[in-house]
Amino acid sequence: MLYLIGLGLSDETDITVKGLEIVRKAARVYLENYTAILLVETKVLEEYYGRPVIVADREMVESDSDSILKGAETEDVAFLVVGDPYGATTHTDLTIRARELSIPTTCIPNASIMSAIGAAGLQLYNYGQTVSMVFFTDSWKPTSFYDRVKENRTIGLHTLVLLDIKVKEQSLENMARGRLIYEPPRYMTVGQCAEQMLESEEIRGENAYGPESLAVGAARVGAKGETFVSGTLKELAEGADEVLGGPLHSLVLLGRRTHELEHVFVREFALDKGRWDEVWKRDYEGRT
């Protein structure tokens, strides 16, 4: 059996009891650590499980999945995924491959940022499609996310923006010389995201949102130091990171279809409550 096991969002104790029992008995344990990361090191997991954990990078999962699936017809293989196993396309792929090999699969779900973001106080029912924001470079500023945000905003919905993480990346020079030296990991912050969103609005100019659109920044959702901060995109670009601290960050752009209860909950996190109230009353209150 191939078990796809969600690890939740923060540390080794966020695994479910059911998931932990399977990990402790499985023949092999893999950890997918490139689409998302936990806030603890792999060795912490190994100690907690009492089992060696094989770190599966993108190459292994996408090009060498048969090594992961080897023997899973007769023994149990645990494939651990940060968050919920089916949050990323890659894992659908692995399940399809298992099917082709007649290997049964079981999914043990867990918290995903896509539902845990509910802790920011905006109703999950009012979220539209989720988008991803990648690190812009001088020459590469992909704004395809912008179309999705615009679609959500047009019908009044909130948008969850998932922020880029760069783990195990090589510099162009090291890549060219074939040196397996990796850059330090980089995690996009809410401030960077808000800035890139404003830059994208300037590039596209379709008024999907603006510097005064309200948003919530989130850090380490589901973890001990979980922190939220709210304000206009401009305020978040300038002041969010200082409040939020270290990774992982996410951002939610508010839609106009916003309930009074959401306002009460989210204004508590405002960088500037007076400014929040002003923009809220002008652009959001009572809109449907």
| Cβ neighbourhood burial of 184 (10 Å; 0-12, 13-18, 19+) | exposed
Q: Is 57 annotated as a binding residue?
A: no
124 contacts a copy of itself (rule: CB under 8 A): yes
Instruction: Say which DSSP state 107 is in.
Output: E
217 binds a copy of itself (CB under 8 A): no
Q: Which two tokens stand for residue 284?
A: 């959001």
Residue 158 per-residue DSSP state: B
Nearer to a copy of itself, 101 or 264 (CB): 264
257 contact partners, CB below 8 Å, separation of at least 6: 126, 155, 156, 157, 287, 288
Q: Is 1 in the site for a copy of itself (CB under 8 A)?
A: no
C-alpha–C-alpha distance, residues 244 and 219, integer Å:
6
Cβ contact 182:169 at 8 Å: yes
Q: Is 17 one of the binding residues for a copy of itself (CB under 8 A)?
A: yes
Q: Which of 26, 157, 215, 240 binds a copy of itself (CB under 8 A)?
A: 157
- What is the C-alpha separation between 216 and 239, in angstroms, rounded? 12
CB 187 within 8 A of CB 248: yes
Q: Is residue 127 involved in binding a copy of itself (CB under 8 A)?
A: yes
Region binding a copy of itself by CB under 8 A among candidate stretches 28-36, 124-132, 172-180, 204-212:
124-132
32 near a copy of itself, rule: CB under 8 A: no
Of the candidate residues 2, 3, 5, 14, the single one contacting a copy of itself (CB under 8 A): 14
> Is 129 a binder of a copy of itself (CB under 8 A)?
yes
Give the x-and-dash track for 84-123 against a copy of itself (CB under 8 A). Answer: xxxx-x--xx-xx--x-------xxxxxx-xxx-xx-x-x
The C-alpha atoms of residue 33 and residue 36 are separated, in whole angstroms, by 6
Contacts for 260-268 with beta carbons within 8 Å, 24 or more apart?
260/285, 262/121, 262/122, 262/123, 262/126, 265/121, 265/122, 266/120, 266/121, 266/122, 266/214, 266/216, 266/228, 266/230, 267/230, 268/121
The nearest distance, CB 4 to a copy of itself, in angstroms, is 9
8: contact with a copy of itself by CB under 8 A: yes
| Number of residues in contact with a copy of itself under rule CB under 8 A | 58
Choice from 68, 94, 221, 237 touching a copy of itself (CB under 8 A): 221
> Which spans of this chain sit near a copy of itself (rule: CB under 8 A)?
6, 8-9, 11-18, 20-21, 83-87, 89, 92-93, 95-96, 99, 107-112, 114-116, 118-119, 121, 123-132, 151, 155, 157, 221-222, 226, 259, 261-262, 264-265, 268
> Residues at the annotated binding site?
9, 84, 87, 112-113, 163, 221, 249
